């Protein structure tokens, strides 16, 4: 296994059995580049690939920072809906990009059966989109659309900040994902809303990025009309 990775044993909060997970050592991944929707490229191991833990015994899966946070009711739902169909399988050890996408899709299925909030679905879907982008697979677009639906619903129904997501960043993501999936009119509308919002001034870097992407969407719209 790569030196940047190590295994540790944890206890599953759903089935109470122990299993191994693989973690990335802190500070071994150097950031090379960031896309306009915050997809990060690393030199060395991409920590996002190891972000989801999957219990090999029962099929419970979640992002590692959320793994232990599960209500008794949700644990019961997983035991009744996911575990009976689950075939024992470990996700420990080095992951290929395909394995990491698979782990995220199992986490997504877990969120769906738990009837999770839109913000949680968006967070997982955008990461699946990034992994497909890194794999140069056009399924990236499907997952950007799912993430866009999640962020739009988050904006309409949830109270900010949602986890680490603030209202401005949510608006930015809606603008940028609309642009990336080709909804240029909507992209312009959402970016304008962010640029014109009084609380946007709290984050000048984000507003600057929003202005650039707003211009880009306008140029793309102009090109499309030619």
Distance CA 204, CA 206 (A): 5
Toward Zn ion, which CB reaches closer, 57 or 180?
57
49-57, 68-76, 103-111, 196-204 -> range binding Zn ion (CB under 5 A): 49-57
Toward Zn ion, which CB reaches closer, 90 or 215?
90
* Residue 144 touching Zn ion (CB under 5 A): no
24-32, 58-66, 137-145, 184-192 -> range binding Zn ion (CB under 5 A): 58-66
Toward Zn ion, which CB reaches closer, 58 or 194?
58
* Closest CB 187 distance from Zn ion, rounded Å: 41
Angle at alpha carbon of residue 93, lines to 163 and 95, rounded to 5°: 70
Distance CA 23, CA 10 (A): 12
Q: How far is CA 97 from the centre of its chain?
A: 15
Instruction: Find the binder of Zn ion among 58, 170, 188, 194 (CB under 5 A).
Output: 58
Mark residues 7-26: x for contact with Zn ion by CB under 5 A, - for none: -----x-xx-----------
Residues that contact Zn ion, how many (by CB under 5 A): 7
DSSP secondary structure of 53-116: EE-TTT--EEEGGGTT---HHHHHHHHHHTGGG-------S---HHHHHHHHHHHHHHHHHTT-
* Residue 56 touching Zn ion (CB under 5 A): no
* Residue 57 touching Zn ion (CB under 5 A): yes
Distance CA 159, CA 118 (A): 12
* Closest CB 12 distance from Zn ion, rounded Å: 3
* Closest CB 58 distance from Zn ion, rounded Å: 3
Contact 165, 38 (CB under 8 A): no
C-alpha pair distances (Å), 68 with each of 62, 94, 119? 9, 23, 18
Instruction: Find the binder of Zn ion among 55, 101, 106, 131 (CB under 5 A).
Output: 55
In sign, the C-alpha dihedral spanning 124, 127, 132, 133 is: positive
Distance CA 30, CA 42 (A): 5
* Residues 83 to 122 in contact with Zn ion, rule: CB under 5 A: none
* Closest CB 86 distance from Zn ion, rounded Å: 9
Interface positions with Zn ion (CB under 5 A):
12, 14-15, 55, 57-58, 60
């Amino acid at each position: 296994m790569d030196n940047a990775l190590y295994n540790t044993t944890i206890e599953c909060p759903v089935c109470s059995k122990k299993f191994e997970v693989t973690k990335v050592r802190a500070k071994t991944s150097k950031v090379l580049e960031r896309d306009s929707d915050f997809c990060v490229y690393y030199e060395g191991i991409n920590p996002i690939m190891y972000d989801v833990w999957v219990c090999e015994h029962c099929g419970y899966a979640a992002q590692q920072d959320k793994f232990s946070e599960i209500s008794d009711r949700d644990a019961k739902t997983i035991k009744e809906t996911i575990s009976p169909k689950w075939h024992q399988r470990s996700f420990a050890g080095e992951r290929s990009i395909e394995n990491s996408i698979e782990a995220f899709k199992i986490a997504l299925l877990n969120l769906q059966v738990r009837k999770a909030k839109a913000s949680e679905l968006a967070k997982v879907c955008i990461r699946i989109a990034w992994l497909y982008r890194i794999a140069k697979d056009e399924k990236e677009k499907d997952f950007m659309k799912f993430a866009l639906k999640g962020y739009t619903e988050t904006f309409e129904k949830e109270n900010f900040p949602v986890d680490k997501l603030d209202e401005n960043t949510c608006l930015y993501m809606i603008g940028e994902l609309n642009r990336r999936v080709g909804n240029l009119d909507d992209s312009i509308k959402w970016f304008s809303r962010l640029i014109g919002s009084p609380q946007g001034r709290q984050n000048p870097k984000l507003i600057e990025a929003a202005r650039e992407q707003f211009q880009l969407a306008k140029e793309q719209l102009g090109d499309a009309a030619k």
